[in-house]
Every structure is written in C-alpha cells, then in structure tokens.
C-alpha cells in the first residue's frame, strides 16, 4: 500500500482536518511516511488567512515538485484546505505537477480520489464544490499515532463562518456556518474517551454560535452551553476546552458554565483584533472594547486564575497611531497570558482590501514589534509568577525539542516541560514549577510535596 505525508499549515481546524484525512487513509491501508522524501502521496493542507501562509505552501510545493518529479515521477502531489478552496484549478495552472486540489468540504473524498489517481484512471482532480452535510464528515481520529494524540483530541463541532469580518477570507474558504448535532458530537467524544482520551478541545470558527439557528435556548442556555453540558456528562473525560469563541454573543450562560462545570478548563482564547472601537467597527467585529473588557472581567470573576490568550491584527486599513495606542492600552489593562499578533495582510475579494488608507508595511512592522514587546513583557511576568506553585498537568508525550523531557499542559493551557518517565504518559499529575522559559514552564514531579 502507498504511504502518505501530510504537511499542515495554519490553525487547529487544519490540524484536525489533516488528522481526519490521515486516519481515513490509514483505514484504507496506507502507512504514514515520516517525511516527504519517502512518501508516495504528499499532501499540503493549506492556510489562506495571510498571504505569507499561502506563499509558504506554494514555495514548498514548487520544491517538492522539482525534487520528486525527477527522481520519483509517480509520486502524487496534492493541495487541500483553504487555499485549495479559494484558488481551485488556478493552482494546477500555476503548478502543473499538482495532481489533486481538494476543497474544505471534500476532505472525506481524499481516499477515493487518490485511488483513482494512483490507479491511473484520472490524471488530475479538482473538487472544491460545496457539499451539504460535510460538517459532519470530519470524524476519524488517529489515536495510536503518538502518546500526545491519544490523551488529548480535537473535535470539530461546526464548519464555516457567517460573521464576514472585513479582513477575513475564512467565510469564503470555509463556507456558510453549519453545525453538527449534539448527539453526533457526543457520540464521537464518547468513543474518544473509551479509547483513552482525557481532554477534548471543541473546534469551530465561532463556537458560541454553535447550532444557534437549529437548537433553541433552553432554560437560559444557548445551544453551545447545552453541548458543553452534554460533553461534560461523559464519564472518564477530565478536561474540556474550546476554541474559538467570539466576543459578540459571548453570553452570561457561557460565563456561568465556567463557574459550574469543573471539567471546563480555566483557559480562554478570545480574539480581540483591535482595542479601538473605530477599527472594530471597520472590521465588522460586532463589539466594543468595553464589551470585550467586561467579558474578561466576568470570566475572571468566575475563575480567578483563568489563562487568557487572544489574536490581534496590527495595521488594519485606516489604523492611526491613536487607534494603535488604544490597542496597547487595552492589552496593558487586560494583561493577556499570550497573544498571537498578525500584521494585516490584504486578502483578495475581502472588503478591507479595497478600503482607503492602507497602512504602509514598515508601520505594520513597527506596530508588530511594539505590541510584541508589550505582550512578551506581560507574559513573562505572568509566567514567572508560577515559580513555586503546584499545578495539575495532563502529560501528553515527549517534548518535540528534547525527547528526554516530557510535555504536558496545565488547566490554564500553559506548556510544562519536566523530566519524567514513561509511567507518567497520559497521566494527570501535580508538579511544582521550578523555573520558566519563553512561554514555557519547567516543573519537577519529585518535589511536589515538599
Ligand atoms: N474565527 C477564527 C479566526 C480565524 S482566522 C477563530 O477565532 O479561531 C485566525 C486569526 O487570523 C484571526 O483571529 C485574525 O487575528 C488573523 N487574521 C485573519 N485574517 C487576517 C488578515 N487578513 N491579516 C492578518 N491577520 C488575519
Ligand atoms: Fe474570520 Fe471573523 Fe469569522 S475573523 S473566521 S470572519 S469571526
């Protein structure tokens, strides 16, 4: 049987989609190649959120094509995911060596299409059509791949986005918002837990919009909180996370869920994008800085030590020094544990790309550097405060950088490295933090009770 190598760019949804495709192919008998140089099928699962991510994947495919086409002409090359969806056949026109272009609603067809290409029945396949029901097709998991995968799993609860933030390409690449049903999601979670998973992260572009048109509010609980309750009731599951909620529509029922549901980990990724009301409006975000700050206050009241991370865009069209100063000020006020900072990138066909007053590249760079310095400084103080504390971690597996160390996450979603033993794998354990690195904690299980 052939071997496959999948390289993933971008977000956790993409990681999850790649895992589902890999698992689908393994079920058909494929093996997973450790690198592209050995694989019979090479798939790049792409990201379109910024131009940089697209150029990286295109450059990578050019290199792979140049190498494999000479030495191993039979290797099948494919693009999947967001860039495959937005560019479609254009990718094959640009890179004629590419055999497969698979859109975001077609991951479940990967196996069939590869069969046809490998058997020589079809030469090149492009499928970026919409498919109703595709939101429920991302379900296979690779549980025996690594220790990391088997204790912690992602579950996709919905696809698409209807918010149309003016900078964002996702509504075009991922389509209309479509949610799975609660019983379907719970059944998948139950299977994962039966297979040894202890932590589940529910994934969607705006999770708090989950099924809001399909499932009515019940006893004051939105559909998403009803889903959280149903997942929470699964015996043997220890930890629940979700990403990402949107500040718009972040209801008090969700805050109350943090106070009520002990398995819900005290960590939250809440994308801010900007601290200026004027820019938030131009972005079509649907909330103000005050509303954002209020959500954070309420979350902290419900769970005082909640770890909070965010996404921020610098250099959105029309962003002045005064607007940017408001972002800095809000970050000083909120004190995020960490933030992903993005330099605004024009995406074709999005309204922001045609807005006046595009910010010069060097100003985007300067604002990026200034915000990074602030975020890193606050992050360092927050991480340093952990030294001497005992935290609970779920041990995921060996650290990527140093296989002699194990890695796990605290309930607040901070990575902890420690020198452990095989018997710690997959365990929930307490350890004492001895020192910190850059957005990393180091712990020692031996001194937990001292
Ligand atoms: N709803 C998703 C967001 C997906 S895009 C979520 O909350 O998980 C992920 C992040 O990429 C966004 O939060 C935003 O900060 C950034 N982003 C999106 N479009 C961008 C663009 N055109 N330029 C720069 N950053 C962008
Ligand atoms: Fe993109 Fe805004 Fe949706 S950032 S994914 S359009 S919530």
Q: Is the CB of 273 under 6 A from ligand 1?
A: yes
Decide whether any atom of ligand 1 lies within 6 Å of the 344 Cβ: yes
pLDDT in tens, 405-440: 999 999 999 999 999 888 899 999 999 999 999 899
Mean pLDDT across 167-178: 97
Rg (CA), the chain: 22
Structure tokens at 329: 């000020």
Q: What's the CA gap between 196 and 415, in Å, rounded? A: 21
Query: Which tokens go with 302?
Result: 């419900």
What's the chain's length in residues?
A: 450
275 contacts: CB under 8 Å, gap ≥ 6: 289, 323, 326, 327, 328, 329, 330, 331
**d(C-alpha 77, C-alpha 94), whole Å:** 14
Overall average pLDDT of the 71-80 stretch: 95
- Distance from residue 61's CA to the centre of ligand 2 (Å): 27
The C-alpha atoms of residue 365 and residue 7 are separated, in whole angstroms, by 28
| Among the listed residues 254, 245, 88, 221, the one whose alpha carbon sits nearest the alpha carbon of residue 161 | 245
Between CA 15 and CA 204 the distance in angstroms is 12
* Stretch 197-217: mean pLDDT: 97
Averaged pLDDT for residues 366-373:
98
Average pLDDT, the chain: 95
Q: How far apart are CA 92 and CA 255, in angstroms?
A: 47
Helix pair angle (361-384, 321-334), 10° resolution: 10
Q: Which ligand is nearest to the CA of 162?
A: 2
Mean pLDDT of 77-90: 97
Q: What is the mean pLDDT of residues 346-366?
A: 97
Would you say the CB of residue 159 lies under 6 angstroms from ligand 1?
A: no
**Strands (DSSP E) found in 157-274:** 158-159, 178-179, 199-203, 239-243, 267-269
Alpha-carbon torsion, ordered 251, 253, 254, 257, to 10 deg:
170
Looking at per-residue pLDDT, the higher value among 33 and 148 belongs to 33
- Measured in degrees and rounded to the nearest 5, phi and psi for residue 352 equal -65, -30
Gap between the Cα atoms of 410 and 144, Å rounded: 23
Q: Let me know the angle formed at the C-alpha of 50 by 76 and 157, rounded to the nearest 5 degrees.
A: 75
Ligand 1 atom having least distance to the Cα of 311: 15
pLDDT at 184 over 60: yes
Q: Is the CB of 49 under 6 A from ligand 1?
A: yes
Residue 131, token pair as written in the block: 């498919």
Distance 195 CA to ligand 1 centre (A): 33
Between the CA of 156 and the centroid of ligand 1 the distance, in Å, is 18
- Asked if the model's pLDDT at residue 392 lies above 70, the reply is yes
What pLDDT does 447 receive? Answer: 63
Report residue 172 as tokens: 């075009």
Q: Percent of the chain having pLDDT more than 70? A: 98
Which of 254, 272, 304, 297 has the alpha carbon at shortest distance from 411?
304
CB atoms within 10 A of CB 294: 14
Q: Residue 387 C-alpha to ligand 1 middle, in angstroms?
A: 33
Instruction: Dig out the tokens for 369 from the structure.
Output: 């550097």
Per-residue tokens: 214: 């399909």
Tally of CB atoms within 10 A around 190: 16
What pLDDT sits at residue 450?
43
Residue 169: closest CA among 355, 350, 344, 46: 350
Q: How far apart are CA 385 and CA 436, in angstroms?
A: 9
Angstrom distance (rounded) from CA 183 to CA 223: 12
Question: What pLDDT is stored for residue 402 in this prediction?
Answer: 85
Locate the ligand 1 atom nearest the alpha carbon of residue 350 and give its number.
22
- 29: cis peptide before it, omega within 30°? no
Q: What residues does 340 pair with on adjacent strands? A: 311
Tokens representing 57? 């994947």
pLDDT at residue 146 tops 70: no
The answer to whether 225 touches 257, Cβ cutoff 8 Å, is: yes
pLDDT band of residue 357 (cuts 50, 70, 90) is very high
Among 311, 349, 354, 368, the mutation site with the greatest number of ligand 1 atoms within 8 A of its Cβ is 311
For 445, list phi and psi in degrees, rounded to 5: -70, -20
Query: What burial class does residue 405 get, using C-beta atoms within 10 Å of its C-beta: 0-12 exposed, 13-18 middle, 19+ buried?
Result: middle
Sheet holding 338-343, edge to edge: 267-269, 307-314, 338-343
What pLDDT sits at residue 149? 54
Q: Does residue 314 sit in helix, strand or coil?
A: strand
Tens of pLDDT, residues 249-306: 999 999 999 999 999 999 999 999 999 999 999 999 999 999 999 999 999 999 999 9
Residue 448 has pLDDT above 60, yes or no: no
How far does residue 94's CA lie from ligand 1's centre (Å)? 26
Atom number of ligand 2 nearest to Cα 171: 6
- pLDDT of 83 > 90? The answer is yes
In testing the pocket of ligand 1, which one of 168, 171, 348 has its CB within 8 Å of the most ligand atoms? 168
Ligand nearest to the CA of 345: 1
> Would you say residue 179 has pLDDT above 70?
yes
Q: Decide: residue 121, CB within 10 A, 0-12 exposed, 13-18 middle, 19+ buried.
A: exposed
- 178 and 211 Cβ atoms separated by less than 8 Å: no
- Using the predicted structure, report yes or no on whether residue 148 has a pLDDT greater than 60: no
Sign of CA dihedral 405, 407, 410, 412: positive
Residues with CB under 6 A from ligand 2: 161, 163-165, 168, 170-171, 205-206, 246
Please name every residue paired with 241 in a beta bridge, in sequence order, or none if there are none.
201
């Amino acid at each position: 049987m052939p071997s496959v190598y999948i390289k993933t760019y971008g977000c956790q949804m993409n990681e999850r989609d790649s895992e589902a495709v890999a698992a689908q192919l393994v079920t058909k008998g494929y093996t997973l190649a450790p690198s592209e140089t050995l694989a019979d099928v090479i798939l790049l699962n792409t990201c379109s959120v910024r131009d940089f991510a697209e150029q990286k994947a295109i450059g990578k495919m050019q290199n792979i094509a140049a190498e494999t086409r000479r030495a191993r002409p039979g290797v099948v090359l494919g693009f999947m995911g967001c860039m495959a969806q937005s560019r479609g056949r254009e990718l094959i026109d640009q890179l004629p060596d590419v055999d497969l272009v698979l859109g975001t609603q077609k991951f479940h067809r990967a196996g069939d299409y590869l069969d046809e290409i490998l058997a020589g029945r079809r030469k090149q396949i492009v499928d970026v059509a919409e498919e109703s029901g595709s939101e429920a097709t991302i379900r296979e998991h690779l549980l025996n791949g690594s220790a990391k995968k088997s204790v912690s799993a992602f579950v996709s609860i919905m696809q698409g986005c209807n918010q149309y933030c003016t900078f964002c390409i996702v509504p075009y690449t991922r389509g209309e918002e479509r949610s799975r049903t609660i019983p379907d999601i719970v059944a998948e979670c139950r299977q994962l837990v039966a297979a040894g998973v202890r932590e589940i992260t529910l994934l969607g572009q705006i999770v708090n919009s989950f099924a809001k048109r399909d499932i009515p509010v019940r006893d004051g609980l939105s559909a998403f909180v009803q889903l959280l309750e149903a997942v929470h009731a699964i015996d043997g599951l220890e930890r629940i996370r979700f990403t990402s909620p949107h500040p718009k529509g972040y209801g008090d029922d969700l805050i109350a869920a943090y106070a009520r549901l002990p398995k819900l980990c005290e960590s939250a990724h809440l994308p801010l994008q900007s601290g200026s009301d004027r820019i938030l409006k131009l972005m079509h975000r649907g909330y103000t800085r005050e509303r954002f700050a209020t959500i954070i206050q309420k979350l902290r009241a419900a769970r005082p030590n909640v770890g909070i991370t965010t996404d921020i865009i610098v250099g959105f069209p029309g962003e002045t020094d005064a607007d940017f100063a408001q972002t800095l000020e809000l970050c000083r006020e909120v004190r995020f544990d960490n933030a992903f900072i993005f330099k605004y990138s024009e995406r074709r066909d999005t309204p922001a790309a045609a807005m006046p007053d595009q910010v010069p590249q060097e100003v985007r760079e300067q604002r990026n550097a200034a915000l990074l310095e602030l975020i890193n400084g606050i992050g360092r103080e927050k991480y340093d405060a952990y030294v001497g504390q005992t935290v609970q971690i779920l041990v995921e597996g060996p650290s990527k950088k140093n296989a002699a160390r194990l890695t796990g996450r605290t309930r607040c979603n901070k990575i902890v490295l420690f020198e452990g033993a095989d018997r710690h794998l997959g365990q929930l354990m307490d350890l004492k933090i001895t020192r910190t690195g850059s957005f990393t904690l180091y712990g020692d299980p031996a001194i937990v009770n001292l």
